[in-house]
Amino acid sequence: MEQLLLLQETKISEILGGQVDPRLEASGVLAKDGVFYVIFDNLADIACLDGRLSPESGENRLIRQKHGRHCGFEDIAYDPWSQRYYVLIESLPRRSGLFMAKVQEYDQNLHYQSDAWLEFTLQRPNKGLEGLTCIHRDGETLLLGLCEGNKCKAGAEGRKPGGGRIQVFRRGQKDWDRVGKIRLPRTLLFEDYSSIAADGDRLAVVSQVNSALWVGSLAPSSWDIVDEGITYTFPRNADGQVIYCNVEGVSWTDSNRIVVVSDKAKSKQEELGREKDQSIHIFEIPGRS
């Protein structure tokens, strides 16, 4: 597999300066109009970062959030047709023994408006929908929710490669109704899935465990993937070791570049993981420039 080409990266806390605690569990990113919007697992506020990743830019700020949940966010998506933002909450108890993901909706200024369930049953509170993106078909907005585990399962079964799943949701009277399912290719050997981004019918899917990106295309009039797509690894070090150990969010910046954010390294991870954690990275996809 070819490696992605690193163009630029920096720690998010260095861009924001003293505006926030340096512990930033980045979990999702959205590129829009030359700005990167970043959400966090441990923070309700949404970071707005200049696309040049310059600490001197006046664009860099935190958009404070007084309403809605205060933590537990996984991804962020934008619907240009309604000018609404959606932030994903992975899995919450809905009724006794039943878990579902939720989205919080924000207006064009990223002010909280409401929340709604994604009507799809999950096994556990911490193994649910990990990625979120918007597409527009037949005059309506649809949300694509990426399951963290293969076949949307938890535990060992969810780590068995070849069962990537994306759930499709349409807005109902109150919540988001599940209306379809996308099966990622069986040849995609990811053990987990951490984020998704759509650019028209083109999809980007990231795996944290595999430290890799898959790019494929969705059929224009069905929920089928048209081919096996291409998998790219995030750069390794000179010894071939994984150094991007905590990739979480992904968003297209243009047709051949992506922006990615990394979560905080886990305590058991070595220095290799900490060097790149809590950061934002811009990569070029080889062969597409």
pLDDT of the chain, 289 residues: tens digit per residue: 899 999 999 999 999 987 677 788 999 999 999 999 999 999 999 999 999 999 888 889 999 999 988 888 999 999 999 999 999 998 898 877 789 999 999 999 999 999 999 999 997 777 789 999 999 998 999 999 999 999 999 889 999 999 999 999 999 999 999 999 999 999 999 999 999 999 999 999 999 999 999 999 999 999 999 999 999 999 999 899 999 999 999 999 999 999 999 999 886 666 667 889 999 999 999 985 5
Contacts of 93 (CB under 8 A, 6+ apart): 99, 125
Q: Are 122 and 142 in contact (CB under 8 A)?
A: no
Which pLDDT score, from 0 to 100, does residue 289 have?
A: 53
Q: Are 246 and 263 in contact (CB under 8 A)?
A: yes
DSSP string for residues in 79-146: ETTTTEEEEEEEEEEEETTEEEEEEEEE-TT--EEEEEEEEEEESBTTBSEEEEEEEEETTEEEEEEE
- Domain definitions of the chain by residue range: 5-284
Which pLDDT score, from 0 to 100, does residue 58 have?
A: 85
Q: Are 261 and 28 in contact (CB under 8 A)?
A: yes
Locate 121 and state its tokens. Answer: 């049953």
The tens digit of pLDDT for each residue in 159-174 reads: 999 999 999 999 999 9
Question: 223: helix, coil or strand?
Answer: coil
Within 13 Å of residue 246, how many CA atoms lie on the same side as its CB?
25
Which pLDDT score, from 0 to 100, does residue 80 have?
A: 95
Residues 86 and 75: their CA atoms lie apart, in Å, by 8
Which pLDDT score, from 0 to 100, does residue 161 have?
A: 95
The tens digit of pLDDT for each residue in 215-258 reads: 999 999 999 999 999 999 999 998 999 999 999 999 999 999 99
Which uninterrupted H or E stretch holds 273? helix 271-276
pTM above 0.85, yes or no: yes
The domain made up of 5-284 is a member of CATH 3.40.50: no
Which pLDDT score, from 0 to 100, does residue 266 have?
A: 81
Which pLDDT score, from 0 to 100, does residue 174 have?
A: 94
How far CA 78 is from CA of 30, 36, 85, in Å, comes to 8, 12, 4
